[in-house]
């Protein structure tokens, strides 16, 4: 009898030891769960069960549970009642983490001007979202369709977990396919994660064109003026070669997970890190640098209303990227490292802007030669990284052209931009552990005859 009593007690004790030892990490899991659940419901309009199965299906996040308040537009997530975290959604700002029981620090009395929905399947992309009726004799449509089919799971499978694929050629939408089995449609906003770093590149580019920022200038961060950090330039930040200390480990309590899921002011946290090495001498992937740049953009504009409107009026609406929601933290800084949602065809429009050297329908949105600057390898990146864009000069994807640049995000989000082939290829998904990006591009490219 005593033995029967002791066994469950030992089990409970073991669980308590595990939970206690991992307790700080649980806040990362619940912060991730609350933020992702809230954004996927209130920004993307998805079903909570689908979100739990596809977005929160790994590590400690899979064991979290969420309470959704549709009236308040909030989500509270916990781990068996522990480590509660709350995310709240506000019109035009997306969703952000707040301290439960405390008033949210982000308060505004305005919203973005509303626009008519210009996206229609009756209009061809990029004006709308419809596929092109142009016949391109150099495209083997059978091979292209086979490549798209191969990118997706068969019914009932969850291996490749591709949500959407879009292919644009010579400024025309020539292919699009969606994971309908998981309720992903052409109108579904999908997360960009670190692809948003490339949007930060565009925002900096616009301010360079307006002569409000210069890549060569020292980063205007007031706290850095009295120490060695004053030597860090905006270009160093764009190249992720700032020399600041930073840990980008997503599997533990690290600088990046703390910034995103425990802190409430991403700019303040990221800019607080100390000097480690001479700027430009070491390439270190850092989500913190993107959020430092987000703060620099805010201070350069020197007006919060202008800051909140800036990416929409100067970039998104000019190129018809009307589904885009670029999210802020609780203090109103765009989380340029990670948080933005758009449809697959709108992500393709962003890629098309860079394919067209920053020009859209005759409007020079980005400065002259900005795309060339963006594509220039960071000194210490071995040809893999430029200015907030990934490069293929190193041949990391051997079956893709060397001139390819790309936006890349967590769990397999990609916008591939291939100037030599006049192609933009988008792949969005819920994971890429078993997805071969090189083979995917090889299959897509095989459908296009090489130019003579």
Residue-wise pLDDT for 42-84, tens only, equals 999 999 999 999 999 988 899 999 999 999 999 999 999 999 9
State the Cα–Cα distance between residues 239 and 390, nearest whole angstrom.
10
Q: Which of 72, 98, 124 is the last residue of a domain?
A: 98
pLDDT under 50: residue ranges of the chain: 1, 11-17, 20-21
In a domain, 354, yes or no: yes
In a domain, 103, yes or no: no
Asked if 313 and 436 sit in the same domain, the reply is: yes
State the Cα–Cα distance between residues 149 and 151, nearest whole angstrom.
5
Q: In the 3-class helix/strand/coil scheme, how is the chain assigned residue by residue?
A: CHHHHHHHHHHHHHHHHHHHHHHHHHHHHHHHHHHHHHHHHHCCCCCHHHHHHHCCCCHHHHHCEEEEECCCCEEEEEECCEEEEEEEEECCCEEEEECCCCCCCCCCCCCCCCCCCCCCCCCECCCCCECCCCCCCCECHHHHHHHHHHHCCCCCCCCCCEEEEEEEECCEEEEEEECHHHCCCCCCCEECHHHHHHHHHHHHHHHHHCCCCCCCCECCCHHHCCCHHHHCEHHHHHCCCCCECCCCCCCCCCHHHHHHHCCCCHHHHHCCCCECCCCCCCCCCCHHHHHHHHHHHHHHHCCHHHHHHHHHHHHHCCCCCCCCEECECCCCCECCCCCEEECHHHHHHHHHHHHCCCEECCEECCCCCHHHHHCCCCCCCCCCECCCCEECCCCCCCCCCCCCEEEEECCCEEEEEEHHHCEEEEEEECCCCCCCHHHHHHHHHCCECCCC
Q: Which residues contact 364 (CB under 8 A, 6 or more apart)?
A: 209, 358
In a domain, 79, yes or no: yes
In a domain, 94, yes or no: yes
Joined together, the tokens standing for residue 21 give: 């030892």
In a domain, 381, yes or no: yes
In a domain, 197, yes or no: yes
State the Cα–Cα distance between residues 97 and 104, nearest whole angstrom.
9
Q: Which of 47, 72, 98 is the last residue of a domain?
A: 98
State the Cα–Cα distance between residues 329 and 326, nearest whole angstrom.
10
Asked if 205 and 314 sit in the same domain, the reply is: yes
pLDDT of residue 24: 81
In a domain, 405, yes or no: yes
Number of folded domains that form the chain: 2
Residue the block writes with tokens 């191969």: 150
HSE toward the beta carbon, residue 248, CA cutoff 13 A: 14
Asked if 89 and 200 sit in the same domain, the reply is: no
Q: Which of 98, 133, 154 is the last residue of a domain?
A: 98
pTM: predicted TM-score of the whole model, two decimal places: 0.94
In a domain, 19, yes or no: yes
In terms of DSSP bridges, do strands 413-418 and 405-409 run parallel, antiparallel, or are they unpaired?
A: antiparallel
Domain that includes residue 55, residue range:
2-98
Asked if 372 and 265 sit in the same domain, the reply is: yes
Asked if 249 and 357 sit in the same domain, the reply is: yes
Structural contact between residues 191 and 39, judged by C-beta atoms closer than 8 angstroms: yes
In terms of DSSP bridges, do strands 423-429 and 413-418 run parallel, antiparallel, or are they unpaired?
A: antiparallel
State the Cα–Cα distance between residues 217 and 232, nearest whole angstrom.
8
Asked if 247 and 380 sit in the same domain, the reply is: yes
pLDDT of residue 374: 98
Asked if 227 and 93 sit in the same domain, the reply is: no
Asked if 316 and 435 sit in the same domain, the reply is: yes
Residue 402 belongs to domain with CATH number: 3.40.710.10
């Amino acid at each position: 009898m005593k033995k029967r009593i002791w066994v469950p007690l030992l089990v409970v004790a073991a669980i308590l030891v595990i939970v206690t030892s991992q307790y700080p990490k649980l806040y990362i899991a619940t912060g991730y769960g609350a933020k992702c659940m809230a954004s996927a419901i209130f920004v993307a309009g998805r079903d909570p069960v689908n979100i739990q199965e596809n977005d929160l299906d790994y590590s400690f996040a899979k064991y979290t549970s969420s309470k959704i308040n549709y009236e308040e537009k909030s989500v509270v997530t916990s781990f068996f009642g522990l480590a509660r975290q709350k995310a709240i959604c506000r019109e035009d700002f997306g969703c952000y983490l707040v301290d439960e029981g405390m008033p949210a620090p982000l308060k505004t009395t305005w919203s973005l001007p509303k626009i008519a929905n210009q996206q229609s399947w009756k209009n061809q992309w990029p004006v709308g979202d419809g596929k092109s009726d142009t016949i391109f004799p150099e495209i083997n449509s059978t091979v292209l369709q086979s490549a798209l089919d191969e990118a997706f799971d068969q019914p009932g499978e969850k291996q490749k977990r591709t949500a959407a694929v879009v292919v644009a050629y010579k400024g025309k939408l020539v292919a699009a396919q969606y994971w309908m089995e998981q309720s992903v449609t052409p109108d579904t906003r999908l997360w960009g994660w670190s692809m948003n770093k490339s949007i930060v590149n565009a925002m900096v580019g616009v301010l360079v064109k307006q002569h409000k920022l210069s890549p060569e200038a020292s980063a205007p961060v007031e706290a850095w003026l009295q120490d060695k950090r004053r030597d860090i330039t905006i270009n160093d930040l764009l190249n992720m070669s700032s020399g600041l200390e930073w840990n980008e480990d997503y599997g533990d309590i690290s600088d990046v997970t703390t910034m995103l899921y425990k802190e409430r002011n991403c700019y303040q946290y990221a800019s607080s890190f100390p000097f480690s090495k001479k700027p430009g001498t070491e390439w270190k992937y850092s989500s913190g640098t993107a959020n430092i740049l987000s703060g620099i953009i805010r201070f350069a504009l020197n007006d919060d209303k202008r800051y909140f409107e800036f990416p929409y009026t100067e970039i998104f609406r000019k190129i018809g990227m009307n589904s885009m929601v670029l999210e802020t933290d609780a203090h109103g800084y765009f989380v340029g490292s990670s948080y933005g949602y758009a449809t697959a065809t709108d992500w393709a429009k962003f890629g098309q802007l860079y394919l067209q050297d920053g020009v859209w329908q005759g409007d020079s949105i980005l400065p002259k030669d900005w795309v060339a600057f963006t594509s220039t390898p960071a000194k210490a990146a071995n040809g893999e990284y430029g200015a907030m864009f990934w490069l293929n000069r190193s041949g990391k994807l051997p079956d893709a052209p060397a001139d390819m640049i790309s936006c890349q995000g967590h769990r397999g989000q990609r916008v591939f931009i291939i100037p030599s082939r006049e192609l933009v290829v988008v792949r969005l998904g819920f994971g890429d552990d078993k997805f071969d990006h090189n083979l995917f591009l090889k299959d897509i490219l095989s459908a296009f005859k090489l130019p003579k």
